[in-house]
Chains A and B, each alone.
Chain A
Amino acid sequence: GDSVTQMEGPVTLSEEAFLTINCTYTATGYPSLFWYVQYPGEGLQLLLKATKADDKGSNKGFEATYRKETTSFHLEKGSVQVSDSAVYFCALAPGSARQLTFGSGTQLTVLP
């Protein structure tokens, strides 16, 4: 079945450091890929998405590129802020379906 593998956390960075959170997936067909962010005590918020190979999703300085050849969708940000501290989830939606398969989540803490 479909699955998403995420980089194990927790990840701790200093403010203005470069961030990469790795995500690889296994799916049949052509899934849509997503990054969601969960702040403490809140629900998940869509951070960015990509619906086909080579698409780049971007939002709030975060970027991820849909790489079909490596089945990856790594999340990057050039300069993190304390306010980026949260749990980040990589997810896929297979084919024409809408239900999401999530990775295990990566806790990010950014120190001032």
Chain B
Amino acid sequence: DSGVTQTPKHLITATGQRVTLRCSPRSGDLSVYWYQQSLDQGLQFLIQYYNGEERAKGNILERFSAQQFPDLHSELNLSSLELGDSALYFCASSVGAGRGQDNYGYTFGSGTRLTVV
């Protein structure tokens, strides 16, 4: 157990629907990152939150949004789902927001596998 908890582990939904993926970071970590792993795009950074504030944004679609709550858990909301959104979505956490604060890489959860049918 890495200490980063993602729920649900699997999700099957229809095109056009909306889903919410949840992540609880490792105890003491303030940063949460979301990544998408798909066969055609590989592993791509979506978005980072640090202590409740958006810190960096990657290749995140406008149909996707995220937030980090006061208890530091984070949710990734995916709407108007398309077949191409089927992927493994990973959450990761780290102590700090920048390299100078934490040089040890960060900790990944085991992912949520989303299947859009």
Binding site for B on A (CB under 8 A): 32, 34, 36, 41-46, 49, 51, 89, 93, 95-105
Structural contact, B102 and A105, CB atoms closer than 8 A: no
- Top 8 closest A-B pairs, CB basis? A43-B108, A46-B105, A102-B43, A44-B108, A43-B110, A99-B45, A96-B98, A104-B42
Count class of interface residues, chain B? 20 to 34
User: Which applies to chain A's interface (DSSP): helix, strand, loop or mixed?
Assistant: loop
Structural contact, B97 and A98, CB atoms closer than 8 A: yes
A-side contacts of B90, CB under 8 Å = 43-44
A-side contacts of B107, CB under 8 Å = 46
CB distance from B20 to the nearest CB of A (A): 19
Alpha-carbon distance A105/B39, docked complex (angstroms): 11
B-side contacts of A98, CB under 8 Å = 31, 33, 48, 56, 94, 96-99, 102, 106
Q: Which of A32, A51, A89, A101 contacts B45 (CB 8 A)?
A: A101
